[in-house]
Amino acid sequence: EGFSSIDESMVTGESIPIDKIINDKVIGGTINKQGTFKFKATKVGSDTLLASIIKMVEDAQGSKAPIQKLADKISSIFVPVVLIISVATLLTWLTVGSQFMPFNQALSYGLLCFVGVLVIACPCALGLATPTAIIVGVGKGAQNGILIKNAESLEKLHKVNTVVVDKTGTITKGKPEVIDIILSNTDKTFTDTEVLKLIASIEKDSEHPLSIAIQEKAKTMGIILTKVEGFEIIEGKGLKGKIDGKQYYAGNLKLINDLKLNYDKELIDILSKQGKTPVLFTNIDKVLATIGIADTIKETSLGAIEKLHKLGIKVVMFTGDNKNTAKYIADQVGIDQVFAEILPNEKADKIKELQSRGLIVAMAGDGVNDAPALALADVGIAMGTGTDVAIESADITLLAGDISKIPQAINLSKKTMATIKQNLFWAFFYNIIGIPLAAGLLFPFFGILLNPAFAGLAMALSSV
């Protein structure tokens, strides 16, 4: 029974509420924004949509395989090879060396070289190469508002070639704003400011998010609202009120049709294709103005996507919103591919689909509805302004929800991995030079042997 507007952003991710009437379904955990109603619970506990989302997150997190560290692989080969070289060095001194010098001297030199090889080749530098770079990388990320949950995420991020972004709250600000005030061609009585003053005055007693968007616009323009008499909410359609004895209405197309007024169908069609929600403002005789309300694009979105493209990364957008809105937003910021009108479980399926094509996928989102996809992606990136569930599911959190930090995080990962590889190269290069010296390769030519004490010093210096 009853009527209300429900904020379903938890599930759909969309900021504009959905009007609900008798026989409509409502979802547990979504927020009643306006009005009162009675509903029948058809699913409870583990059967609810929220419980199923949580289970999907747990399943996705459990399916992740830990990445094998590059240094571990190298060390697993390097250590046995060094042991073989050191034993071979001792045996060579005992067999070949003893032919050119007394056996006890060959044994003495052989033992010195055996110890020298073990000491100089001690894989400290190899052991330090990866964790030291990761500690610095994670620290640098934190300084720049990029919180990295674990080293695996930082390692995997440099391989990413596809970034999936949620529309609402990631590309857009996540709250409706007044974009257009379009006066009717048939009425020249009012200016934009006068229309906004009238409609904001009528809307001031409503808690509907579209009403709040109009009130915010009037507030930013410093408009002083006027007294309204006979204010009334018309369920599912809009509201009405009298100003200076004249009757005014503000609402959707259902209200205009009830009033049997003509309106500009072409204008409504254009606004819809641009992803804007039209609010029509009328008197008893005609439409005076059309207000276009939409979730606006963040200032940083376009620059961030350009940077991702420069890094050779494809950008895909997921949204529960309609195709017109999704396409309009995508065209404005240069998105490569769009999946519109998709539900939370479908987001996770689409991530799997992209991964099945051999793509390394990072997903950026901020809502409960994004959590399964964040957990399933190769790297999950949560907006710091988002829900706790999204942040918990993600591998990386961007403070202040700034999308421009995504290319920054990828660059950080690439530089960290370059440092690791550079560290490993120098650790190897040092060993390639140091091991033959320690084994006594120069002795037959120059009579030079490397004292184990100097080998220890060289090993320590290589770590530094």
Check residues 309 and 13 and name the one with the higher pLDDT.
309
Instruction: Write the pLDDT tens digit of every residue in 192-214.
Output: 899 999 999 999 988 888 899 99
Please report which helix (H) or strand (E) contains residue 399, including its range. Answer: none
Residue 282 is encoded by which pair of tokens?
A: 């009328």
Would you state the pLDDT for residue 57?
A: 52
Would you state the pLDDT for residue 322?
A: 77
Check residues 58 and 264 and name the one with the higher pLDDT.
264
| Whole-number Å distance between alpha carbons of 296 and 319 | 15
Check residues 138 and 407 and name the one with the higher pLDDT.
407
Would you state the pLDDT for residue 71?
A: 66
Q: What is the mean pLDDT of residues 243-260?
A: 92
* Residues 6+ away with beta carbon under 8 Å from 273: 324, 328
Q: Are 287 and 256 in contact (CB under 8 A)?
A: yes
Beta bridge partners of 2: 37
Instruction: Write the pLDDT tens digit of every residue in 366-423.
Output: 777 788 888 899 999 988 766 677 777 788 888 767 788 899 999 999 998 888 888 8
Rg from Cα positions in the chain: 33
Q: What's the order of all strands across the beta sheet hosting 396-398? A: 146-148, 396-398, 379-383, 361-365, 162-166, 314-318, 337-339
Beta bridge partners of 147: 397
Would you state the pLDDT for residue 314?
A: 95
Q: Helices 103-120 and 452-463 sit at what angle, rounded to 10 degrees?
A: 10
Residue 166 annotated among the catalytic residues of the structure: yes
| Whole-number Å distance between alpha carbons of 218 and 283 | 20
Virtual CA dihedral for 350, 356, 358, 361, nearest 10 degrees? 30
pLDDT tier at 304 (50, 70, 90 boundaries)? very high
Instruction: Write the pLDDT tens digit of every residue in 3-19.
Output: 888 887 766 556 678 88
How far is CA 27 from each of CA 9, 11, 33, 167, rounded to the nearest angstrom? 11, 8, 14, 21
Please report which helix (H) or strand (E) contains residue 441, including its range. Answer: none
Closest C-alpha among 91, 96, 133 to residue 114: 91
Backbone angles phi, psi at 384, to 5 degrees: -60, -20
Do β-strands 18-20 and 162-166 pair in parallel, antiparallel, or remain unpaired?
unpaired
Would you state the pLDDT for residue 65?
A: 34
| Whole-number Å distance between alpha carbons of 15 and 168 | 7
Check residues 147 and 261 and name the one with the higher pLDDT.
261
Residue 196 is encoded by which pair of tokens?
A: 């906004």
Where are the alpha helices (H) located in 96-150, listed in sequence order?
103-120, 124-143
- Pick the catalytic residue: 7, 166, 366, 395? 166
Kindly report the number of other CB atoms within 10 A of residue 20's CB atom.
21
Would you state the pLDDT for residue 68?
A: 41
| Whole-number Å distance between alpha carbons of 414 and 307 | 14
| Whole-number Å distance between alpha carbons of 76 and 74 | 5
Instruction: Write the pLDDT tens digit of every residue in 60-115.
Output: 445 443 434 666 777 788 788 888 988 998 898 888 878 888 888 888 888 888 88
pLDDT tier at 56 (50, 70, 90 boundaries)? low
Say what percent of the chain tops pLDDT 90. Answer: 31
Do β-strands 379-383 and 238-243 pair in parallel, antiparallel, or remain unpaired?
unpaired
Residue 304 is encoded by which pair of tokens?
A: 């961030």
